[in-house]
């Protein structure tokens, strides 16, 4: 039966030679079978390897833990995380494909950008540094490093590194957590932490994070490298 | 992950429903297990529910399957979709198969109340009793979810349901699909699916100011209200008429979301993602045969531009330079694309239509075709809203609409600008 159909197809090609070039063109002119080619649509804002672009509000994706990236892609697809251009692009993509995308960007290792020159006062810098490395116990703010890692490079599978991002982006995200426009599955640890922060805290932390130089190894630490100070829905322990 | 979360939520909801039930002392509990419906019937119903794309409206993102609660923006206000799980208080658990059929067929609730025509009963009326019963059996088999329907949020005077009577008089004709004896069985199957469960006419027929579409204009295309995408005519080969597409090309387009003639984006990507990719090859072929037959063979009309020719020629020069810089690496200097993943632009009907809305939106917003069984990892087109000015968008769209023998008309920067604020969801 298959053979019979095959013969018909061959006869068809012979009978209509005009169709043959089109059929050939179809097999010859194919885009590369790579994730990079599939994700060209993401490159204008995030860079071809997820290294980020000049626009401070579009984050670097490269080298973030794949679980974190997958959580974000799924949240954008489902509309939990709101940014209309992202919601639109991902609406009809399967979870399997979003995980492949996350793995692709997680595996990229372009160098981190040069640290930013902070544009806040010395006091603010000191305040931001204290919050990042020590937190503020009395106000219920743990050190950023207690979850995001001693070098702030994140922890597998789902806690993001905080380096290589611009202050505008960090501050917009912390603002989103504070006002409840950015959420994650319960217990939503970042919402709790950001809810305890003031606008000045956010400004100080964002400025210091954007200015912090990259450690020699910018990759996230393995899963279970340390115990989180409290439970987090995105990173089941 | 999502499915797991949904399951967990469903289990929780079921558990709390159980607690409520045991809490009510004297209340005799409804029988826990319904008589098991025929598995084949349920499977058929699930398939038909896919063909009807029920999930797109009756399931909220991250919400329980068919528990409703999804807000639907309409020009008349916001409708909130209903819970169609078998929960007896908040869903349709108390409905009989007769009542379910009556709702599909007549657009009335069991108590006689009128459904808003956002529920496509004007199409579903064509569904046979047998198919309605299968869908009913399937909806009885899914987990019951206790979630009350949210009242609609419609502005005056549309919050008055009796207005629907007027709408029905104008736009609703009740009746199951009547096979055309002059046509083949496949054609009739295709027509039944396209006109009935597929409710393709909901978008591909122009909607007038009263929110209705008249049968005489069936499948002639129109702008989709609120979404600002243009649903092209299925009858005109100048638009999405499929007269000169092969059945294979139509089938690929519907089921995989990509074809050698073009790919689906925007609202049609939703339809392929949630519904068409699950149709059998036989049903896709039947729909393709019917859709192809709708097309009225007409040669492409010569373009008539609304712009002065001096302006058009400036646009073209600028447009070509933008095209060569930003587009040609994927779509080719001659607009041939790398099919099916980078769609061809030369000869692509959707680019030359009199409405330039879709072409402009693709340049502004980019897009991915849907993930489907036949194309699980689609290639995405970048958005250019940030990098191109209104003039540049108009120029490059004018160029692709007129280069390589394409016969579209020039577009203005103003048209491009208007669509920058088009909703993206």
Query: Both A62 and A140 in a single domain?
Result: no
Q: What are phi and psi of B375, to 5 degrees?
A: -150, 70
CB contact under 8 A, A31 and B425: no
Query: Both A131 and A198 in a single domain?
Result: yes
Query: Both B240 and B153 in a single domain?
Result: no
Q: Give the pLDDT score at B298.
A: 61
Which CATH number covers residue A133?
1.10.760.10
Query: Both A139 and A199 in a single domain?
Result: yes
Query: Both B402 and B363 in a single domain?
Result: yes
What is the per-residue pLDDT across A134-177, written as a single tens digit (0 to 9) for each? 999 999 999 999 999 999 999 999 999 999 999 999 999 999 99
**Confidence band for A237, pLDDT divided at 50, 70 and 90:** confident
Query: Both B338 and B274 in a single domain?
Result: no
DSSP category for residue A141: B
DSSP category for residue A159: B
Structural domain containing residue B52: 38-171
Nearest-angstrom CA–CA distance, B103 and B75: 24
Q: Give the pLDDT score at B34.
A: 54
Q: Is residue B109 part of a domain?
A: yes
Nearest-angstrom CA–CA distance, B175 and B168: 13
Q: Give the pLDDT score at A206.
A: 98
Q: Give the pLDDT score at B227.
A: 85
Which CATH number covers residue B288?
1.10.760
A8 pLDDT more than 60: no
A16 pLDDT more than 50: no
Residues of chain B numbered 348-377 and touching chain A (CB < 8 Å)? 365-371, 376-377
- Rg, Å, chain B Cα set: 23
Q: Give the pLDDT score at B35.
A: 56
Query: Both A159 and A86 in a single domain?
Result: no
Query: Both B59 and B93 in a single domain?
Result: yes
Query: Both A104 and A168 in a single domain?
Result: no
Average pLDDT of span A188-193? 95
B62 interaction partners in chain A (CB closer than 8 Å): 78-80
Q: Give the pLDDT score at B300.
A: 55
CB of A41 less than 8 A from some CB of B: yes
What is the per-residue pLDDT across A206-224, written as a single tens digit (0 to 9) for each? 999 999 999 999 999 999 9
Q: Picking from A2-16, A38-52, B330-344, which range would have the lowest pLDDT averaged per residue?
A: A2-16
Distance from CA of A63 to the nearest CA of B (A): 21
Q: Is residue A235 part of a domain?
A: no
Query: Are A234 and A158 within 8 A, CB to CB?
Result: yes
- Residue closest to A141 by CA, chosen among A83, A217, A197, A59: A197
Q: Is residue A70 part of a domain?
A: yes
Q: Is residue B27 part of a domain?
A: no
Q: Searching chain B, which residue's CA lies closest to the CA of residue A36?
A: B379
CB of A80 less than 8 A from some CB of B: yes
Q: Give the pLDDT score at B19.
A: 34
Q: Is residue B299 part of a domain?
A: no
Q: How far is CA B302 from CA A21, B241, B354, in A?
A: 28, 17, 11
Q: Give the pLDDT score at B390.
A: 97
The secondary structure of chain B, three-state, reads: CHHHHHHHHHHHHHHHHHHHHHHCCCCCCCCCCCCCCCHHHHHHHHHHHHHCCHHHHHECCCCCCCCECCEEEECCEEEECCCCCCCCCCCCCCCCHHHHHHHHHHCECCCCCECCCCCCHHHHCCCCHHHHHHHHHHHHHCCCCCCCCCCCEECCCCCCCCHHHHHHHHHCCCCCCCCCCCCCHHHHHHHHHHHCCCCCHHHHECCCCCCCCCHHHCCCEEECCCCCCEECCCCECCCCCCCCCCHHHHHHHHHCCECCCCECCCHHHHHHHHCHHHCCHHHHHHHHHHHHHHCECCCCCCCCCCCCHHHHHHHHHHHHHHHHHHHHHHHCCCCCCECCCECCCCCCHHHHCCCCHHHHHHHHHCECCCCECCECCCCCECCCCCCCCHHHHHHHHHHHHHHHHCCCCCCCHHHHHHHHCCCCC
Query: Both B94 and B198 in a single domain?
Result: no
Q: Give the pLDDT score at B206.
A: 75
A17 pLDDT more than 70: no
Q: Is residue A237 part of a domain?
A: no
Distance from CA of A135 to the nearest CA of B (A): 32
Q: Which stretches in chain B have pLDDT values below 50?
A: 1-29
B337 interaction partners in chain A (CB closer than 8 Å): 29
Instruction: Give chain B's domain count.
Output: 3
Nearest to A44 among B273, B377, B387 (CB): B387
Instruction: Give chain A's domain count.
Output: 2
Q: Is residue A18 part of a domain?
A: no
Higher pLDDT pick, A236 / B357: B357
Region for residue B342 given its phi and psi (left: phi exceeds 0; alpha: psi -120 to 50; beta: otherwise): beta
Nearest-angstrom CA–CA distance, B82 and B193: 24
Q: Give the pLDDT score at B20.
A: 35
Query: Both A81 and A131 in a single domain?
Result: no
Query: Are B378 and B370 within 8 A, CB to CB?
Result: yes
A117 pLDDT more than 60: yes
A73 interaction partners in chain B (CB closer than 8 Å): none
Query: Both B166 and B224 in a single domain?
Result: no
Nearest-angstrom CA–CA distance, B13 and B6: 10
**Confidence band for A2, pLDDT divided at 50, 70 and 90:** very low
Query: Both B43 and B167 in a single domain?
Result: yes
Query: Both A101 and A126 in a single domain?
Result: no
Query: Both A97 and A169 in a single domain?
Result: no
Query: Both B74 and B163 in a single domain?
Result: yes
Q: Is residue B89 part of a domain?
A: yes
Q: Give the pLDDT score at B240.
A: 75
**Confidence band for A23, pLDDT divided at 50, 70 and 90:** very low
Query: Both B250 and B341 in a single domain?
Result: no
CB of A21 less than 8 A from some CB of B: no
CB of A103 less than 8 A from some CB of B: no
Q: Is residue A233 part of a domain?
A: no
Nearest to B270 among A22, A26, A92 (CB): A92
A10 pLDDT more than 80: no
Q: Is residue B275 part of a domain?
A: yes
Q: Is residue B134 part of a domain?
A: yes
Query: Both B277 and B210 in a single domain?
Result: yes
Residue in this structure with the two tokens 């626009």, named with its chain if needed: A55
Query: Are B341 and A39 within 8 A, CB to CB?
Result: no
Q: Is residue B7 part of a domain?
A: no
Contacts of B322 (CB under 8 A, 6+ apart): B388, B392, B395, B396, B399
**Confidence band for A24, pLDDT divided at 50, 70 and 90:** very low
Distance from CA of A42 to the nearest CA of B (A): 6
Query: Both B162 and B60 in a single domain?
Result: yes
B424 interaction partners in chain A (CB closer than 8 Å): 84-85, 87-88
Structural domain containing residue A102: 33-110
Query: Both B205 and B154 in a single domain?
Result: no
Q: Is residue B266 part of a domain?
A: yes
């Amino acid at each position: 039966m298959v053979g019979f159909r095959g013969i018909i197809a061959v006869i068809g090609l012979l009978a209509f030679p005009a169709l043959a070039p089109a059929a050939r063109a179809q097999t010859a002119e194919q885009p590369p079978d790579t994730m990079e080619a599939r994700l060209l649509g993401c490159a204008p804002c995030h860079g071809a390897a997820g290294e980020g672009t000049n626009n401070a509000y579009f984050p670097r994706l490269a080298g973030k833990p794949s679980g974190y990236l997958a959580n974000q892609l799924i949240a954008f697809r489902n509309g939990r995380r709101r940014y209309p251009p992202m919601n639109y692009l991902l609406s009809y993509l399967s979870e399997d494909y979003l995980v492949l995308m996350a793995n692709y960007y997680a595996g990229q290792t372009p160098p981190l950008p040069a640290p930013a020159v902070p544009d806040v006062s010395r006091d603010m810098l000191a305040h931001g540094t204290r919050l990042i490395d020590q937190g503020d116990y009395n106000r219920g703010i743990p050190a950023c490093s207690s979850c995001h890692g001693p070098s702030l490079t994140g922890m597998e599978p789902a806690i993001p590194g905080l380096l290589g991002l611009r202050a505008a982006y960090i501050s917009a995200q912390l603002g989103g957590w504070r006002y409840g426009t950015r959420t994650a599955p319960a217990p939503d640890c970042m919402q709790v932490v950001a809810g305890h922060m003031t606008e000045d805290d956010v400004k100080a932390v964002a400025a210091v994070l954007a200015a912090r130089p990259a450690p020699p190894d910018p990759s996230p630490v393995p899963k279970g490298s340390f115990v989180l100070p409290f439970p987090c829905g995105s990173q089941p322990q | 992950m999502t499915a797991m979360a949904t399951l967990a939520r469903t289990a929780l909801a079921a558990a709390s429903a159980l607690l409520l039930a045991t809490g009510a002392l004297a209340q005799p509990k409804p029988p826990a297990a319904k008589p098991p419906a025929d598995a084949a019937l349920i499977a058929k119903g699930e398939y038909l529910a896919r063909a009807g794309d029920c999930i797109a409206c009756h399931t909220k993102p991250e919400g329980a399957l068919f528990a409703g609660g999804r807000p639907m923006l309409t020009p008349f206000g916001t409708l909130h979709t209903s819970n169609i799980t078998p929960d007896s208080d908040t869903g349709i658990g108390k409905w009989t198969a007769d009542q379910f059929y009556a709702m599909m067929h007549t657009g009335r609730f069991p108590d006689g109340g009128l459904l808003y025509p956002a529920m496509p009963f004007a199409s579903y009326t064509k569904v046979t009793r047998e198919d309605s019963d299968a869908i009913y059996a399937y909806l009885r088999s899914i987990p019951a979810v206790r979630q009350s329907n949210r009242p609609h949020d419609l502005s005056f005077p549309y919050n008055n349901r009796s207005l629907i009577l007027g709408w029905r008089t104008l736009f609703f004709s009740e009746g199951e699909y009547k096979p055309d004896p002059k046509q083949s069985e496949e054609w009739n199957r295709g027509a039944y699916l396209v006109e009935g469960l597929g409710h393709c006419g909901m978008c591909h027929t122009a909607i007038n100011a009263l929110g209705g579409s008249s049968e005489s204009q069936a499948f002639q295309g129109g702008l989709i209200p609120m979404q600002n995408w243009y649903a092209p005519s299925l009858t005109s080969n100048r638009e999405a008429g499929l007269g000169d597409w092969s059945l294979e090309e139509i089938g690929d387009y519907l089921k995989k979301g990509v074809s050698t003639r073009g790919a689906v984006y925007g609202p049609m990507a939703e339809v392929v993602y949630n519904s068409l990719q699950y149709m059998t090859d036989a049903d896709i072929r039947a729909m393709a045969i019917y859709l192809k037959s709708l097309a009225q063979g007409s040669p492409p009309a010569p373009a008539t531009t609304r712009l002065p020719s001096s302006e058009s020629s400036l646009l073209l020069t600028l447009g070509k330079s933008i095209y060569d810089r930003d587009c040609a690496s994927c779509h080719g200097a001659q607009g041939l694309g790398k099919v099916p993943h980078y769609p061809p632009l030369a000869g692509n009907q959707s680019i030359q239509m009199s409405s330039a809305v879709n072409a402009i939106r693709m340049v502004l917003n980019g897009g991915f075709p849907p993930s489907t069984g036949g194309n699980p990892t689609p290639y995405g087109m970048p958005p250019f809203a940030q990098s191109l000015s209104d003039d540049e968008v108009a120029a490059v769209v004018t160029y692709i609409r007129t280069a390589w023998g394409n016969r579209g008309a020039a577009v203005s920067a103003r048209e491009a600008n208007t669509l920058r604020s088009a909703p993206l969801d």
